[in-house]
Amino acid sequence: MVSRVCLRCGKVLGKNVGGRRKYCSDNCRKRAADQRRRHPGGTKPVSSVHASSSAPVSGCDYADLLRISLTALKRAVEDDGTPANAVAPLTKQLLAVGKEITDLENRPVDPLEEGVNVSGAADEPFDPETL
């Protein structure tokens, strides 16, 4: 299940938060409004969520963060309050995140990453002459 996130900072909203709430706090809501006033053209998307955030979501791996980003971007694209000239960059970012998720799901599995037991494997003896 993908959690809802703040459209400004990407922080996961609580389970008991109302369905219409978009921001985690009044501070984020006010900063988003200030940013919309400063950039009325919407050239800088407010709703982008960065995986390199200084406050990572606990218990989430990279794929989960990408899915959270995807949800926030979808919500921003579908929001009636999103400026028309911000929809194209948001859509481009939405497609990039979707491609990243697809690439992550379709990558070959590293056996060591999956916890394969290699205790019975024997190394070949080292021969310095081969170098």
Do the Cβ atoms of 73 and 93 come closer than 8 Å? yes
Domain ranges (residues) in the chain = 1-14+21-106
12, β-bridge pairs: 5
Sign of the dihedral through C-alpha 25, 31, 37, 42:
negative
> Residue 95: what pLDDT?
92
Average pLDDT, whole number, for the chain?
77
Higher pLDDT, 82 or 112: 82
Query: Residue holding tokens 């916890």?
Result: 115
Which structure tokens are listed for 20?
């219409």
Higher pLDDT, 115 or 44: 115
What is the tens place of the pLDDT at every residue in 83-115? 888 888 899 999 999 999 898 888 876 666 666
Cα separation, 117 vs 53, in Å, equals: 34
